[in-house]
Amino acid sequence: MPIPPIALTKSAYAYDELRRRILTGQIQPGAVFSQTSLAQELGVSTTPLREALRRLAAEGMVQLDSHRDARVTPLSPDEARNLYVIRENLDPLAAALAATSRTPEDISAIEVTLKQLTPLNESSDLDAMTAHRNFHRAIYTASHNPLLIGILEGLWDKADQYRHIGLQNQQDSAKDHARVQQEHVLIAEAVIAGQADHARETMHRHVLGSLGRRAIEVLEGRQEGR
């Protein structure tokens, strides 16, 4: 039975642990679990567990019913496409705005998070996924557009579930890793240099080849029984 870290409340611990399990695929989309059994497994009472589940439900990661069960929200090609369309349009916008609005503090954050990136693969832990998020968050933050930042941040956890599907179905990991890393470098360089059009184009190319795009193909194949 895991022991919650002292620095975290039991609710926060349950939230972090469940979120980690969902985002890394340890708990699969569509899985149903008993709240009572899960509380015992995590070493917390049902009250903090329910608080954690409500947070995850608000983020669209779990579904709660009127009984004692909870379900990890299933993934669908339709939702994957919707997320992809939003990112295809808003991520390049954020990069272009960042190139014209970045401050010295933004540049420092972009450089630091770029260095912390490691290639994502199907066994990547939450730290690797968080590093990826932090790099994109640094780009979003540099746009200095609170509404845009809020939209993109709000989608990230849901998008990470689809990224995990893409990671499990990569066809050429070494080639993909090199391409993605080079794209991250080019995005950072364009933003730092203040090249808005180049930043937009590079980010757009990055999204076109993203794991989210691969997830759509995988989920469509499953739906069609391929």
- pLDDT, one tens digit per residue, over 62-73 is 999 766 789 999
Domain boundaries, the chain: 10-72, 77-223
- Could you report the per-residue pLDDT of 12-64, keeping only the tens digit for each? 999 999 998 988 888 889 999 899 999 999 999 999 999 999 999 988 899 99
How far apart CA 48 and CA 127 sit, in angstroms, is 24
CA atoms lying within 13 Å on the CB side of residue 6? 0
Q: Are 203 and 188 in contact (CB under 8 A)?
A: no
Longest distance between any two alpha carbons in the chain, whole Å: 55
Separation of alpha carbons 86 and 92, rounded Å:
10
Residue 99 pLDDT > 70, yes or no? yes
77-223: CATH topology: Four Helix Bundle (Hemerythrin (Met), subunit A) (1.20.120)
Q: Facing residues of 63 across strands?
A: 71
Residue of 80, 82, 101, 100 whose CA lies nearest to 90: 82
pTM of the model: 0.82
How many whole angstroms separate alpha carbon 152 and alpha carbon 115? 22
DSSP at 171: S
Yes or no: domain 10-72 corresponds to CATH 1.10.10.10? yes
